[in-house]
Amino acid sequence: MQNLGFAYHPSSMEKLIQRVQQADSLVCVGLDPIGADDQVLARLHEVIDQTAPYVAAFKPNLAFFLSRPDGVNLLRIVIDRVPKDIPVILDGKFGDIANTAEHYARFAYEVVGADAVTVNPYMGDDAIVPFAQPGKMVFVLAKTSNKPTHSLQDVALTRGGYLSDLAAGVAKELDNQHHNIGLVVGATNPEALARVRQACPDQWFLIPGIGAQGGDLASTLQAGLRPDGQGVLINSSRAIWQAADAGAAARELQQQINSYRPAVINA
Ligand SMILES: O=c1ccn([C@@H]2O[C@H](COP(=O)(O)O)[C@@H](O)[C@H]2O)c(=O)[nH]1
């Protein structure tokens, strides 16, 4: 390891890359717990334990925890259950002025123990930088999977492209400086995904929107995979949570994704 003269922090990016290779997986299991408060912890443990062998990462969505009594404690317990070699991405879609963002970052990394977060770039790069700490990773919302009637992300720029391309540009610029910035790009618009991939050829994309939201896995991988067959985390939340056998559902998704990887690499 290169001695850079300061404390070295293995980054969450390295943890992610190691995990992707070790598990041969690009699956991100979303933890969006629904159901009765007194049963939800048991189901969360079951989903984590059953799916862990097949996943590259877990993604608890903060809203599903905050909406429960003692939700922060529940989130802490759940993150603690995840094997230590599997990165946890806290999907909080944070994004406030820098000194407030520092508190969100402390919450995500110190209070509940996440490795990575999702951040909304609308307020600018100073809302993102507090999360880009050594050893951590940030996924910046670029082109999200929802299809709103009035989409700011789809506003066309006079210089060409869309506002979502600007968000991707911010994420790329920040990654040049911090080396731990990925992007959130939805699976529901493969054309936009391909465009963002072209603009950001090297970065990791967290991709929600397959399954319940209708995104197509094949075209998502075609558009988003890097030539090395990596660079994407395909998220599935409801489809795994609701499966009778969560482990089998995660394994099937892993196999489906992997079946496309060589084809895309050799294309
Ligand atoms: O663009 C985005 C960003 C985040 N999400 C989140 O991902 C999961 C998707 O859940 P599914 O049940 O697999 O549809 C959920 O937590 C969303 O808040 C997203 O869907 N799109």
Domains contained in the chain, CATH given: 12-262 (3.20.20.70)
pLDDT in tens, 199-224: 999 999 999 999 889 999 999 999 99
> Residue 260, SS3?
helix
Give the pLDDT confidence of 85-94 residue by residue, as tens digits.
Answer: 999 999 999 9
What is the Å distance from ligand 1's center to 89 Cα?
A: 12
* Ligand 1: centre distance to CA 144 (Å): 9
The model's pLDDT over 139-183, given as tens digits with 9 standing for 90+, comes to 999 999 999 988 999 999 999 999 999 999 999 999 999 999 999
Helices (H), 67-162: 71-81, 98-106
Tell how far CA 240 is from the center of its chain: 16
Mean pLDDT of 100-109: 98
- All residues at 6 or more sequence positions from 71 whose CB lies less than 8 Å from its CB, including other chains: 65
Q: Are strands 181-185 and 27-31 parallel, antiparallel or unpaired?
A: unpaired
Enter the DSSP assignment of 5: S
In degrees, to the nearest 5, what angle opens at C-alpha 128 toward C-alphas 122 and 130?
145
Active-site residue (options: 59, 93, 136, 147): 93
Q: How far is the CA of 209 from the centre of ligand 1 (A)?
A: 6
For the chain, percent of residues with pLDDT exceeding 70: 94
The residue type of 63 is: A
Separation of 94 CA from ligand 1 center, angstroms? 15
Confirm whether 59 is a catalytic residue. Answer: no
Pinpoint the alpha helices (H) of 24-70. 37-51, 62-66
Average pLDDT over residues 46-66: 98
pLDDT band at residue 267 under the 50/70/90 scheme: very low
Residue 59 tokens read as 């993604």
Residue nearest to atom 6 of ligand 1 (CA): 208
Compute the distance between CA of residue 141 and CA of residue 66 in angstroms, rounded to an integer: 21
Taking a C-beta distance cutoff of 8 angstroms, is the pair 134, 9 a contact? yes
Q: In a 10 Å sphere around its CB, with 0-12 CB exposed, 13-18 middle and 19+ buried, how is residue 218 labelled?
A: middle
The SS3 call for residue 171 is: helix
E strands present in the chain: 27-31, 57-60, 89-94, 116-119, 137-143, 181-185, 205-207, 232-236
Q: Among 235, 238, 253, which residue has the most ligand 1 atoms within 8 Å of its CB, making it the best to mutate?
A: 235
Would you state the structure tokens that stand for residue 8, as one six-digit string?
Answer: 């070295």
CA–CA gap between residue 80 and residue 100 (Å, rounded): 25
Distance from chain centroid for Cα 203: 12
The closest residue, in CA terms, to atom 21 on ligand 1 is: 145
Percent of the chain clearing pLDDT 90 (strictly above): 91
Per DSSP bridges, beta strands 205-207 and 57-60 are unpaired
- Contacts (Cβ under 8 Å, ≥6 apart) of 74: 40, 41, 44, 65, 68
**Cβ within 8 Å of residue 147, ≥6 positions away:** 188
pLDDT digits (tens, 9 = 90+) for 233-242: 999 999 999 9
